[in-house]
Amino acid sequence: MIDNLLLGFQSALTPENVLWCFVGVLLGTVIGILPGLGSATGVAILIPVTLTFSPLTALIMLAGIYHGAQFGATITAILIATPGEASSVISTLDGYQMARKGRAGPALAISALGAFVAAMASLVVLVAVAPFFARLALDFGPPEMLAIMILGLSTIVVFSGRNLLLGAAMGLCGILIACIGVDVGSGVARFTFGEVDLFGGVPFVEVMIGLFALGELLNQLHHGMAAPIRARFKDLLLTRADLRRAAAPTARGTVVGFLLGCLPGAGTTLASFMAYGAEKRFSKHRKELGKGAIEGVVAPDAATNAASNANFVPTLVLGVPGGATTAVLLGALLVYGIQPGPLLFENQPELVWGLLVSFFIGNLMLLVLNLPLAPVFAQLLRVRYAYLYPLIIATSLLGAYSVKTSMFSIWVVLVFGVVGYAMKRLNLPVAPLVLGLVIGPLFEKALVQTSALAGDDGVASLVLTSPAAVVVLLAAVALVAGPPIVSAVRGRGTRETVPTGGNS
């Protein structure tokens, strides 16, 4: 492991990579702060900008945006009760109440500190477990991968929102959209209506820009914004009592976040809500939650950061995205010609370890940036949305066009912008659709390969002879059947605690 880390430091600590990591976390923080933009949006919009970079530099910058946006999103959640990310929705409850009580500074500071501690702890575990999982996954053939894809699809359904059926429907929509284009198995063009632009499938980056950037922007025009609350540097000071109260929630949030983040498709939103739920159950100050308790800010933020790191376990090891943003990053990997999966650790060690080490560097930069500069970032909230959203539209269309230098990309962005807006207005969860879009082709590929191996015996017989595949399938069954059973036993819906429409 030491050798791998040294290799990672060598790759990540080049002046160019450090510079782009800094640019990434800075841009990410700004993107997280600005209403209407989130990590998935930011990464999707900026993929075209990174096309001329080396893959490692591009990924370091995009991962920096991902991490930075988590921090930035919390700033808006605390100061104007507008979560920049679905995962920071829960931070608005206690964070905004703390701010209204004149404790915006400590809320911002404890959020940054808790997120940093969680990020570092989860990264140590990530670095330790990822190679182990990758070695384990090396023995995986098409049947095992098929089982993993089924597990991924199951987690989408279960963790997609309070309405299990709705999550399933959106996941299926994603899979169906992914069916458009040339079929991986037979090479037949499906649902293209002779349109050459559709032979390569519905372009992923453009769909993401439409769903997240334009969809969120149009939705944002519907909502009024709360007046921003001032945060000054001297207000950031935390008391010893604050730190004492934050220690246990940070630890709990980190554990909850990391465990949930490792699941394919679970994302960071679930982690933040579960961490809040854990505080409601285990915290000594649970009666203060919702009224401006420090636990309600630090635990979800710690969980979000731990989950965002853990999301890279399924993404890098299995090639199955951990959440919506890692799904976009996975799309970026494919755009750069890199095939994620267990062989990635063997074939491209510099890329994998350089990327993982850059997470440490990026999080350190974020702490240095966020603690003293939070009040400065907060000033960005004073940029009028009247100027901001035309800029987002222009950037989205420019970025989309430059991916393939095609007008078709612009039309895809517009169509999916309207779709994304409609989905948000109707409370349809976006994340399952995105994950279905990503996992759909992978699932079909594994299915075709397994059917070729199985021959006349059938796919099921081959899958069920693999112990690893059976274990994974049992996990999938437990995930789907577990919550309704627990809910029936308890006599109340556990799904009510999970929000609909998570983006990550």
Partner 1 sequence: MRARREVLVSRVVLIAVGAAFFLGSFAYDWSGDDGTIGAGVLPRTAGLLLVLVGVALVVQEVRSGAERDDEVVGVVEGVEEPDPERTRRKLVVVLAAMLAAALLIPITGLLPTLALLTLFLCAVVERQPLPRSLGVAAGVGVLGHLLFVVLLRVPLPYGVFDPAVWSLL
For the segment 46-75, give every residue that binds partner 1 (CB under 8 A): 48-49, 51-52
Q: Which is nearer to partner 1, 89 or 310 (CB)?
A: 89
Of 320, 368, 316, 369, the residue nearest 346 (C-alpha): 316
Q: 302: which 2 tokens? A: 């710690």
List 96, 204, 345, 359, residue binding partner 1 (CB under 8 A) = 96
Of 227, 256, 220, 213, the residue nearest 122 (C-alpha): 256
Q: Does 176 participate in binding partner 1 (rule CB under 8 A)?
A: yes
Of 325, 408, 401, 327, the residue nearest 153 (C-alpha): 327
Give me the least distance between CB of 276 and partner 1, in Å please. Answer: 9
Q: Which is nearer to partner 1, 301 or 444 (CB)?
A: 444
Q: 156: which 2 tokens? A: 């989408």
Q: Which is nearer to partner 1, 128 or 394 (CB)?
A: 394
Q: 280: which 2 tokens? A: 């409601």
Give me the least distance between CB of 116 and partner 1, in Å please. Answer: 25
Q: Does 113 participate in binding partner 1 (rule CB under 8 A)?
A: no
Of 237, 472, 466, 486, the residue nearest 374 (C-alpha): 237
Residue spans of alpha helices (H) in 160-239: 164-178, 204-208, 215-220
The identity of residue 43, as a single letter, is V
Q: Between 104-138 and 55-80, two packed helices, what is the crossing angle to 10 degrees?
A: 150
Euclidean distance between CA atoms 15 and 27, whole angstroms: 18
Give me the least distance between CB of 446 and partner 1, in Å please. Answer: 10
Interface mask toward partner 1 for 469-498; x: CB under 8 A:
---------------------------xx-
Whether 156 and 439 have beta carbons less than 8 Å apart is answered as yes
CA angle (30 as vertex; 24, 34 as ends), nearest 5: 140
Q: Which is nearer to partner 1, 59 or 214 (CB)?
A: 214
Residues numbered 216-255 forming contacts with partner 1, rule: CB under 8 A: 218, 221-226
Give me the least distance between CB of 383 and partner 1, in Å please. Answer: 11
Interface mask toward partner 1 for 276-305; x: CB under 8 A:
--------------x---------------
Q: Does 175 participate in binding partner 1 (rule CB under 8 A)?
A: yes
Whether 269 and 503 have beta carbons less than 8 Å apart is answered as yes
Euclidean distance between CA atoms 378 and 158, whole angstroms: 36
Give me the least distance between CB of 77 and partner 1, in Å please. Answer: 9
Residues numbered 381-400 forming contacts with partner 1, rule: CB under 8 A: 384, 386-387, 389-391, 393-394, 397-398
Q: Does 23 participate in binding partner 1 (rule CB under 8 A)?
A: no
Q: Which is nearer to partner 1, 120 or 266 (CB)?
A: 266
Q: Does 418 participate in binding partner 1 (rule CB under 8 A)?
A: yes
Q: Which is nearer to partner 1, 227 or 241 (CB)?
A: 227
Euclidean distance between CA atoms 47 and 400, whole angstroms: 9
Euclidean distance between CA atoms 386 and 84, whole angstroms: 17
Q: Choose the stretch contacting partner 1; rule: CB under 8 A; options: 61-69, 256-264, 311-319, 415-423.
A: 415-423
Q: Which is nearer to partner 1, 349 or 445 (CB)?
A: 445
